[in-house]
Amino acid sequence: MDEVEMDPLRHGRALSDALKVFHRALIRAEIGDDPVLNNPYTMLFALIDNPGFAWMGTLSRLITRIDEHTVDGTIEEPGVLGAYRSEAAALIGEGESEADPVFRLHHLMALQKEPAVGLATGRLRQTIAGIPV
């Protein structure tokens, strides 16, 4: 493999970006047409405090951990990027790992409600496939 294919920092950033797009799409699907939650501040507080959004914590924490490891360079350590690749794949029902069943249920419902979730899921699949195992 050439250096570009094996660049963990680049792959870590790409995975984080794809997960953030996925996260935004899931938020939009969950909020739907609720006029109260379409206010950015109300939405933020709902995401932080509302138990109805707690299922997104799995995804939020994954993004945070990837970003931390990318910034401090430890994503280049053996096995780190591969572990994140596996976690991300499990979120969308791929790979050998099992994702949180509550997250999977919400994801599947969001796929039915919001086309952007399908597009974000596809982008995430492509990004995961591009990360060497």
The span from the CA of 125 to the CA of 118, in Å, is 10
Its pTM stands at: 0.88
pLDDT tens-digit readout, 18-47 = 999 999 999 989 887 777 777 777 777 777
The span from the CA of 71 to the CA of 64, in Å, is 11
The 3 state secondary structure assigned to the chain is CCCCCCCHHHHHHHHHHHHHHHHHHHHHHHHCCCCCCCCHHHHHHHHHHCHHHHHHHHHHHHHHHHHHHHHHCHHHCCCHHHHHHHHHHHHCCCCCCCCCHHHHHHHHHHHHHCHHHHHHHHHHHHHHHCCCC
Cβ-contact 110, 29 below 8 angstroms: yes
pLDDT tens-digit readout, 62-88 = 999 999 999 999 999 999 999 999 999
